[in-house]
Amino acid sequence: MTQELIDLFKENYYIPLYLITWIVAVVRYRSYFDTALKYFPIFIIYTFFTELLGYFVKHSDEFQFFSDERYSWHNVIIYNIYSIVTFSFFYYVYWKVLKKEVHKKCLKYGMIISLTSYVISVFFQNPFHNSLYYADLVASITLVMAVVLYFKEKKIEESAFSLTRNLLFWTSLGLLVFYIFFPFIFIAAFDAPDIYYEYNLHQFLLILIAVMYALFIVGFLIGQRKAFR
């Protein structure tokens, strides 16, 4: 098992970054413990264990879900569940921090459409064997919209504290960088694999993950409780 973990971290350099981010998040928890991001450390460690489980399901017989050898390596259900949890968590965060009713209404409609897209997707794609990437696209658009609405409110908001001291600013920046590209990369992986491999989009996806979590870490390190919103 130890050697498997070493191999895992060598092949997937971004996974240790989840653990590092979680450690920083826990150490700095006092700076945001009573904010909308108070459950962030739980989400980050959930991400870490999701990646571990996904790796072992794919590479180890002991963790496989299906007895049929054709599907024994399939781990996509883990990530389909993860996507729903991820979007639900961040929708909750922005629902808590957005102030304007019109913005909250936009987010509410976006959440309903996103949930509906997942429900519809399971009728056309088997979530145990296929990524629900079209639903992910819809949910990503909603999340990007929420981030943009948040930045719009912050732009006109008066505050005695620097925006760079706001953990949610760095979190939002990381989410924006990642989710602008993420769904299109996934669609390319399944519907246009030639483009996906020709332009090495998988490596680009990993870079986006690293950038997103690096921005999270910056936010944890320099964020101040009084500057949060």
Predicted pLDDT at 59: 60
Contact 131, 76 (CB under 8 A): yes
Radius of gyration of the chain (CA): 18
**What residue type is assigned to position 52 of the chain?**
L
Poorest-pLDDT segment among 9-13, 150-154, 168-172, 224-228: 9-13
pLDDT in tens, 194-210: 999 999 998 999 999 99
Average pLDDT (136-157) is 95
Q: For residue 74, what pLDDT band results from cuts at 50, 70 and 90?
A: low
- Rounded to the nearest angstrom, the gap between the alpha carbon of residue 117 and the centroid of all alpha carbons in its chain is 18
Return the residue matching tokens 């936010």: 219
Average pLDDT (128-145) is 93
Question: Whole-number mean pLDDT of the chain?
Answer: 89
Predicted pLDDT at 71: 46
Long-range contacts of 54-59 (CB under 8 A, 24+ apart): 54/78, 54/79, 55/8, 55/12, 55/15, 56/4, 59/4
pLDDT in tens, 22-45: 999 999 999 999 999 999 999 999
